[in-house]
Amino acid sequence: MKKISFIVFLLLSVFNSEAQNNTDREPDLQDAYDKVINDKSTESWSLFFNLFPSTFEKFDSIFGYQENQKGPLYDMYQQYIYLFFEAQNHINESVYYNKLIQIAKDGIWDADANSLFQLCIVNLVINDSTNHQKNSFLETLSTYSETDISNFWRFYFEDLYPDCYGEKYKRTVSVLQGYERLILIMEKRYKTICNNSNR
């Protein structure tokens, strides 16, 4: 009887310890996502934004698919990426756009999460955003080094089969009017992308 009581005591101790650990742990990206979906408060948006990956390497490790191994949030990458782009309406513009550029400048095109992230950036630049948002984004991008800007445009235009000098290129050039440095860097990188795709 004492043996059974001791085993029950040990099991209860383990369960209590696990419950305590779960209560005490730091919130993760999944927690932050759920919180935004449930209450949409400023605090929730900030938590989600702060926990969203700040580098492409981390982004890809969470949402990507490498060597037959899914990232932990691969199956929900669409919801998380769409929510990240919705966050631009709830986060300080400069802070938001800097984080977006930090991810994109090291981005590598691939199917699924990477291509959706790229598409959302393209929509930000040429489709969905207001003129104020576009200008704020382009002003932020203009503060980066030539290398970082060039790498950003590489990810922006990279595709399995780039549509060289097609609609995306023309609309981007139109949006960039007044940002001569960005246009020069973009055109130089774009030419390389198209030359490589024709080989």
Judge whether 175 and 126 are in contact, CB under 8 Å.
Answer: yes
pTM attached to this predicted model:
0.84
End-to-end CA distance of the chain: 79
Q: What is the pLDDT of residue 130?
A: 78
- Residue 91: inside a domain: yes
Q: Which residues of the chain have pLDDT under 50?
A: 6, 8-12, 14-23
- Residue 4: inside a domain: no
Token pair of 186, please? 């973009």
pLDDT tens figures, 68-120: 899 999 999 999 999 999 999 999 999 999 999 999 999 999 989 999 999 99
Judge whether 114 and 107 are in contact, CB under 8 Å.
Answer: yes
Q: What is the pLDDT of residue 2?
A: 54
Distance in angstroms (rounded) separating the CA atoms of residues 79 and 33? 9
Structurally, how many domains does the chain consist of? 1
In terms of residue numbers, what domain contains 160? 52-197
- Residue 15: inside a domain: no
- Residue 43: inside a domain: no
